Amino acid sequence: MHHHHIILRVVTKMLVGTIILFAFYVQFHGDFSPGGGFQAGVIMAVAFILYGIVFGLNKAKQVFPAWVVHKLVALGVLVYAGTGVASMLLGYNYLDYGAFNPHHPSHGQHWGILAVELGVGITVTGVMVAIYYAFAGRPPPMKDEDW
C-alpha cells in the first residue's frame, strides 16, 4: 500500500473494532430494541468489507480467510436449524421456543430467539463477506490504460 493513504488506514483501524462492538450490541439487544441477527450480521460484515476496501482484498483475506467465511455460512444455518431440531427433540413443534424452559415459556422464548438470531447473524456475516470477496476478486474486464 502507498503511504499517501495513512490517515485513511489509521482511521479504518480505529473504526473496525468499534463497528464490530456495535454489531455485537445490535445482535444481543435485538430482542429488546430494533435490530437483531440480520442487522448485526450486515454491520459485522461492513467492518471486514471496509478493511478490505482500504487495505486490499489480500490483507482482508489474511484477517478473515475465505475458508472461515464459508464455514460461518454453514455454522449459522446449523445454529438456526439446530434450535428448531432441539425443540422437536424436547417434544415440541419446530422452533417452539417454549421447549427450552417449559416452566417459564417466556424465558424459553428469550433463549430460543437469541439462538435463532445468533444463527441469522453468523450466516448474514458470512454471506455478505463472501459476496464481497467474490466481486472484489474478479479480474477487471479491461485495463486502466485501455480507457
pLDDT, one tens digit per residue, over 20-37 is: 999 999 998 866 666 688
Domain containing residue 37: 3-146
Share of the chain above pLDDT 70, in %: 92
End-to-end CA distance of the chain: give it in Å, rounded.
24
- Please give the tally of structural domains in the chain: 1
Q: Is the pLDDT of residue 146 over 90?
A: no
pTM comes to: 0.86
CA dist 50 and 91 (Å) reads 45
Contact partners, residue 26, CB within 8 Å, separation at least 6? 35, 36, 39, 40, 43
Q: Which pLDDT belongs to residue 33?
A: 65
pLDDT of residue 133: 97
